[in-house]
Amino acid sequence: MAQETSRAVGPVVLLGPPGAGKGTQAKRIMERYGIPQVSTGDLLRENVALGTELGQAAKAVMARGELVSDDLVCTMVRERLIQPDCKRGYILDGFPRTAAQAGWLDALLEAELFDNSRPTRAWPIVVRLDVDYNQLLLRITGRRSCPTCGRIYNVHLQPPRVDELCDEAHATKLVTRNDDRLEVIQPRLVAYEEQTRPVADYYQRTGRLISVNGDLPMDEVTALIFRILEDHHA
Ligand code: AMP
């Protein structure tokens, strides 16, 4: 895939319910534009695995499929966004997830608009992936990832060549996320409907929401997102 790593892309927000394909598309944007994927879910899971204070506070909440507090998540995001690799832009995957987080992000970006040392000074490009409910369930229940290289598979839709083993990372055994279990999926989808849908409504009202049909084949979704990013900078 051709790379476009010379110019500033700015913040990109990927919205959509669990299983919509945000992580997969974020990785593709990252490869093409050379800007990092900032996944709050991944950052939280890393903290849980490392047993940090944040991880200890988040662990039980995540296991129930509920949202971690805005304060904890925003602090974590702020620390990540000041890293030098975010200078040309970044892809927010799974953030903002509440109206309060969206307001916090706007305040942060507004402050940056007046900071000449930040080349990413811009409002985010907000892309929402819309996916049919039954398709979501299939994607979430089939999701497996490689703990070594992070590649994501789906045992129903994009299975690995050998059952449950990564194609790339020396046949590492694939794992299922703790919160992809059936009993946790429902509360996660409820959290999305109740707390995250207002975020999309907010971006819609401010004229920044671009919806993409996430039911299309993965490559077509990627092509649509690349076109949105190109048009935005044309
Ligand atoms: P994800 O990998 O995006 O599905 O996130 C997994 C879990 O991490 C969610 O179910 C929440 O418990 C937590 N989480 C991730 N991002 C956020 C966020 N922006 N705000 C609150 N909790 C979050």
pLDDT number for residue 92: 98
Which residue in the block uniquely carries the two structure tokens 């602090």? 75
Contact predicate 159/153, CB 8 Å: yes
Mean pLDDT on 99-116: 86
Residue 230 forms part of a structural domain: no
Is the predicted pLDDT of residue 112 greater than 90, yes or no?
no
Any domain includes 160 = yes
In the numeric block, the tokens 């129903």 are attached to 156
Among the residue ranges 80-94, 106-120, 133-147, 150-164, the one predicted with the least confidence is 106-120
CATH at 172: 3.40.50.300
Q: Between 71 and 151, name the one with better pLDDT.
A: 71
Count CB atoms within 10 A of the CB of residue 44.
22
Residue 145 lies in a domain: yes
Ligand 1 pocket check for 41: Cβ under 6 Å = yes
CA dihedral 218, 1, 175, 61 (to 10 degrees): -70
Above 70 in pLDDT, residue 178? Answer: yes
Domain limits for position 135: 4-35+88-223
**Whether residue 89 has pLDDT greater than 80:** yes
Average pLDDT over residues 89-116: 90
Number of domains in the chain: 1
Lowest-pLDDT range of 117-131, 148-162, 180-194, 209-223? 117-131
Mutate to test the pocket of ligand 1, among 62, 177, 178 (most ligand atoms within 8 A of CB): 62
**Residue 122: band (very low, low, confident or very high) from pLDDT cuts 50, 70, 90:** confident
> What mean pLDDT is predicted for residues 137-151?
92
Asked whether residue 131 is assigned to any structural domain, the reply reads yes
For 180-213, write each residue's pLDDT tens digit: 988 999 999 999 999 999 999 999 998 999 999 9
Residue 162 forms part of a structural domain: yes
Q: What is the DSSP letter of 131?
A: -
- Which DSSP state fits 85? G
Top pLDDT among 136 and 115 is at 136
Pairing of strands 143-145, 152-154: antiparallel
In a domain, 55, yes or no: no
Residue nearest to atom 19 of ligand 1 (CA): 95
Query: Is 57 within the bounds of a domain?
Result: no
Residue 1 has pLDDT above 60, yes or no: no
Handedness of CA 14, 68, 86, 168 (dihedral sign): negative
pTM of the predicted protein model: 0.90
- Tell me, yes or no, whether 144 lies in a domain: yes
Query: What is the atom index within ligand 1 of the atom nearest the CA of 45?
Result: 8
